[in-house]
Amino acid sequence: MRARSSRIATVFLSVMFLLASSSVAFAATAKTAKAVAAGPNIWDQAVNAFADLINIVAHYVGDYGIALIIVTIFIRLLTMPLMLKSLQNSKKMQALKPRLDELKKKFGNDTRKIQEETMALYKSEGVNPLSGCMPMIVQFVVLTLLYRAIYTDTAMLHAKFLGLMPLGQPDHTYILPVLAGVTSYFQQKVTMVQMDPTQQKIMQIVFPLMIFFFALRVFAALSLYWVFSNLFTIGQMYFVRVKTSTQEVGKK
């Protein structure tokens, strides 16, 4: 139950961000950055710092889209330990599944007792069933920072990726929305370890479709970040699995 709750919470956070981004995107955009921010605060400072980082990289590479890709990779490298820890936790939960099934058989319809014993088992094994939410929370923060940075920075708002695709507007060519949906499908496929096959099939279809439709509405820069963040995750999972398989073969 907790494993499913963790996955549901993760998807919920993704949807909440996309809903928020869409609603803001269709709000009044005539306000300037000064009108939006009544005064400096920690959040504004974080947004400004994020915008400065992208601007500095863009100054050296000459393209805001490429700068965003570089910043995306940098952020994912910084958060890699968090992702790996979440993956290790997920593997532990998967290993505990037979014991959890035994608890369900033992206590039948006594939901309260099952939950108590489940939490006791997680505690004894050092498992945090909600740790899978942390990577998505980080994504939520980064995407929100990126949205606000673009919204308040005139240069980024009017910048184009490779001189062709406006980053401060939705991508009406469907290229990035399609890539966002496709990469989300494979990202879900390589990271799902807790759901049963039926649930996996549902999530592998529903979640990418949601990402596709929301990517049609948000800034192209957000879709670009999402695509390369997914690609990084897919590559990371491939590397982890290859490394794990090599270690297992070595032990034999």
Q: Where are the domains of the chain?
A: 2-25+40-251
- Whether 176 has a pLDDT exceeding 90, the answer reads yes
> What H or E segment, with its residue span, contains residue 165?
strand 165-166
Most confident of 17-21, 174-178, 232-236: 174-178
- Whether 180 has a pLDDT exceeding 90, the answer reads yes
The confidence score (pLDDT) of residue 132 equals 66
Beta strand 165-166 pairing with 160-161: antiparallel
C-beta separation of 169 from 218 below 8 A? no
Q: Which tens digit of pLDDT belongs to each residue from 35-63? A: 444 455 788 888 888 899 999 999 999 99
The confidence score (pLDDT) of residue 40 equals 58
* 58 vs 27: CA distance, rounded Å: 28
The dihedrals phi and psi of 160, each to the nearest 5 degrees, come to -125, 145
* 222 vs 226: CA distance, rounded Å: 6
- Whether 240 has a pLDDT exceeding 70, the answer reads yes
Which pLDDT band, with edges at 50, 70 and 90, does 29 fall under? very low
Put simply, whether the predicted model's pTM sits higher than 0.75 gets the answer: no
Distances, alpha carbon 249 to alpha carbons 31, 138, 226, 235, 239, in Å:
60, 34, 35, 21, 15
- Whether 101 has a pLDDT exceeding 70, the answer reads yes
